[in-house]
């Protein structure tokens, strides 16, 4: 985006340096899940439907970006979108690799088990 505005030059994309890095996720507390399981499932169904829409209608999906992000349409049409092939189910191998990077650069003090943290059972 910055390169399109002439204020920088890209030497490599973040994905070139750290392939498949996950920038965001959806989290619910155990308490919320136990008290609102239908809402959690409904939210996740909607999220997956949005992934499916983006995959099937990328240009149309990009046309919504200016309204919700404030970027211009030309920037929205040329900006990178994440890969939606996993449909919300990132591999544990990728998550472990990412955790190792967080440990290496001091963002985590110790390794934690992903069991009990990652639960795809509510995804459609």
Question: Which single residue is written with the structure tokens 């920088």?
Answer: 8
- Please indicate, yes or no, if residue 50 is contained in any of the structural domains: yes
Q: How many domains does the chain have?
A: 1
Predicted local confidence at residue 104, as pLDDT: 92
Predicted local confidence at residue 49, as pLDDT: 93
Q: Quick check: 73 and 63 in contact, CB under 8 A? A: yes
What value does the mean pLDDT take over residues 48-60? 90
- Please indicate, yes or no, if residue 65 is contained in any of the structural domains: yes
- Please indicate, yes or no, if residue 71 is contained in any of the structural domains: yes
The pair of structure tokens assigned to 92 is: 């544990």
pTM of the model: 0.70
For the chain, helix, strand, coil in percent to 5 are: 50, 0, 50
The pair of structure tokens assigned to 106 is: 């001091």
- Please indicate, yes or no, if residue 58 is contained in any of the structural domains: yes
- Please indicate, yes or no, if residue 64 is contained in any of the structural domains: yes
Share of the chain above pLDDT 70, in %: 94
Mean pLDDT comparison of 21-25, 38-42, 75-79, 96-100, highest-scoring range: 38-42
- Please indicate, yes or no, if residue 67 is contained in any of the structural domains: yes
- The mean predicted confidence, pLDDT, of the chain is 85
Predicted local confidence at residue 2, as pLDDT: 67
Q: How far apart are CA 25 and CA 16, in angstroms?
A: 21
C-alpha separations of 74 from 8, 59, 91 in Å: 17, 11, 33
Range of the domain at 61: 14-104
- Please indicate, yes or no, if residue 115 is contained in any of the structural domains: no
């Amino acid at each position: 985006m910055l390169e399109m505005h002439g204020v920088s030059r890209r030497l490599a994309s973040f994905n070139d340096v750290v392939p498949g890095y996950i920038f965001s996720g959806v989290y619910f507390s155990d308490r919320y899940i136990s008290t609102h399981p239908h809402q959690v499932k409904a939210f996740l169904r909607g999220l997956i439907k949005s992934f499916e829409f983006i995959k099937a209608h990328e240009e149309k999906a990009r046309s919504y970006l200016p309204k919700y992000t404030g970027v211009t349409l030309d920037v929205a049409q040329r900006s990178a979108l994440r890969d939606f092939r996993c449909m919300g189910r990132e591999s544990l191998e990728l998550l472990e690799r990412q955790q190792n990077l967080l440990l290496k650069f001091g963002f985590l003090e110790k390794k934690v088990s992903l069991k009990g943290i990652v639960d795809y059972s509510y995804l459609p």
